[in-house]
Amino acid sequence: MASSSSSAAAISSPRRKYDVFLSFRGEDTRNTFTSHLHAALLRKKLHTYIDDKLERGDEIRPALLEAIEKSKLSVIIFTKSYASSTWCLDELVHILGCKERDGQFVIPVFYNISPQDVRKQQGSYADAFAKLEERFKLEEGMDKVLKWRDALQKAANLSGYDYSNKAGTEADSIEKLVQDILNKLHCKSSSNLKGLVEIETKVEQIESLLCLDSSDVCIVGIWGMGGIGKTTLADVVYHRLSSKFEACCFLKNVRENSEGKDGIYNLRNELLREILDDKNINIKTPSIGSELIKGRLRHTKVLIVLDDVNDSRQLELLVGDDLEFGVGSRIIITTRDRSLLNEMVVDDKIYEVKGLKHDGALQLFHLHALKNKSPTTVYTEFSRKVIDYIRGIPLALKTLGSLFHRCDTEEDWDEELNRLKKFPSEKIQKVLRLSYDGLEENEKECFLDIACFLKGADVCYAKRILDIRGFFVKGIQILIDKSLISISETNFLEMHDLLQEMGRTIVREQCKEEPGKRNRLWAADDVYQVLENDTGTSTVQCISFDTSNITRLELCGSPFKKMSNLRLLIIHNSRPRVEWRAKYIGFRFHGVAYNKTLELSQDLRSLPNSLRYLYWQEYPFKSLPSNFSPQNLVELRMPGSFVGAELWSKNQVYICFLFFFLCFFY
């Protein structure tokens, strides 16, 4: 079965899925050289495609051709029987086609065979082609044979590695090959900075601060306002330098991911697991304690990026005095708060990210506003006025650039510019609000759902939720085009925190004093207030309630009765469960692992019949309310719950189509 071994790697072009594609004759090297090379590539965190199918037919599979096209570099391992496989020869032709068409790197490896034999098709290759010519002796078939011969000659003329005489150890040979692969990929990454303006100089300045030739452990801070490009800058530096270190880790969104009781410990565990390549590390105390772990860290040269730090405790637990890293280690911290860096970073190691200069801002704005069009004198003048207003903030430039992209005439530009002038002194959140105001109603609703509930969600899951909510999922692509959201390489929805806050502010403004009169509720305190005081209204459409920080909640039997338009209800606990034991006592549901008590003063008597999506983790009853008619319900999830056969009462309507996910813990 074909598979890929994945891990984070060098900066990828959007259409490149793999860093390395391995082409080889399975019976020759699958369990020797190729497997050792594959393992070495994985240790360097390179996303490598290897075909694990033991038996191959005559026709190369389309998926394999696609994998070649989506790889940045191909390694062709020539062995004595490589030419006897038409599959391998077809791979070779396709790889060289990608090299000529797309500039893909190709590295030939000659294992137990000389480049001369491959180039001139002599020795075992002569025998193989004698059989091929007999097999494909018709004119059309001979054309294919000629293509194979030509491909072998071209590949053998490329700069590669000759292991035909087995000089040195295989381990040394693989180490040199992997380093060459890394160098080529990083060279490609350095030239793949499309859409990044004024980045090269900033990267060089940060590399200078890192003092890469020094054996000391060095910490550099990257400081600036939200949306100014700190994360982008750290990302480029990280991927350029990662091959120079024994272990690397980029912790994104430290501020957000450290929330909750164990959030910061989970982050530290992620850091230690990545650096030490040990998935069993799980420490939930301020001190690491383990001298073995500390010793391993002291002997490991690491590159670490902590992105978006907002609390000194995060720094102390992640890279503080309890953690000593190997000589030559480098740590990069991005933050909006300069004061957090003072105790750990010396002043001359703090890099302030400033807004783009006028020409750079103009270039970035035109990139998003005009796409591939050349700016006319009139449009350039309009653009300059916009640039003066935005003041070089990359996020605002991209967002407003996409907004102006819809303007087809000078009059449209003038109208949009006049609209901007109504907010001459507003902060960046108000600037970003303009993109939202220009959306159609469907896209506005999608944007608000993502801001309130779906940021960081898998794209397929998000689309399903939006569809259940009654919105057109094409809105996601429109939001991407408007630079309001993006999709990560791992297919998760991403939204800048400033944009998310803007969306949430829009919802809060529906009724600042009474959360129960807003259409979306996500903040635990707001949900707590509405449920505890029974102040919900028919305005409420969605509730996402994280109970991880709620130690006690007493509800009446009908806390949702007034929410007649509630369509989405999510009650969950974001803390990962280390050990879970539970028992059902009356109406009290005890989570022993966290000493939490969720109390309902009486049985849950009602749920809105309008519900379309219900997710209730650790639902404390064995059945749903008897008067609940789930004819609108599309999906029901109750992980960790005690529901049983009596979930539905006899009088409840039969559901024709329902995604049903339950977990039982008796």
Whether 46 and 9 have beta carbons less than 8 Å apart is answered as yes
Q: Which amino acid is at 569?
A: L
Q: Which tokens is 32 given?
A: 């020797």
C-alpha distances (whole Å) from 556 to each of 545, 624, 639 are 17, 15, 23
Whether 543 and 568 have beta carbons less than 8 Å apart is answered as yes
Where are the alpha helices (H) located in 308-409, listed in sequence order? 312-319, 358-369, 377-390, 394-405
C-alpha distances (whole Å) from 480 to each of 435, 486, 618 are 12, 5, 35
C-alpha distances (whole Å) from 575 to each of 260, 593, 595 are 7, 11, 13
- Furthest CA-CA distance within the chain: 86
C-alpha distances (whole Å) from 273 to each of 109, 281, 351 are 33, 6, 29
Map 17-67 to HEC letters: CEEEEEEECHHHHCCCHHHHHHHHHHHCCCCEEECCCCCCCCCCCHHHHHH
Whether 328 and 215 have beta carbons less than 8 Å apart is answered as yes
Q: Across the strands, what pairs with 20? A: 48, 73
Q: Positive or negative, the Cα torsion across 37, 39, 43, 48?
A: positive
646 part of the active site: no
Tell how strand 486-487 and strand 493-494 pair up. Answer: antiparallel
- Please name the residues in contact with 143: beta carbons below 8 A apart, sequence gap of 6 or more: none
Rounded to a whole number of angstroms, the distance between the first and last alpha carbons of the chain is 38
| CA dihedral angle for residue 536, residue 540, residue 541, residue 542, rounded to 10 degrees | -70
Query: Which residue is catalytic, options 91, 198, 416, 443?
Result: 91
Helix (H, G, I), strand (E, B) or coil at 196: coil
Which positions are catalytic?
A: 91
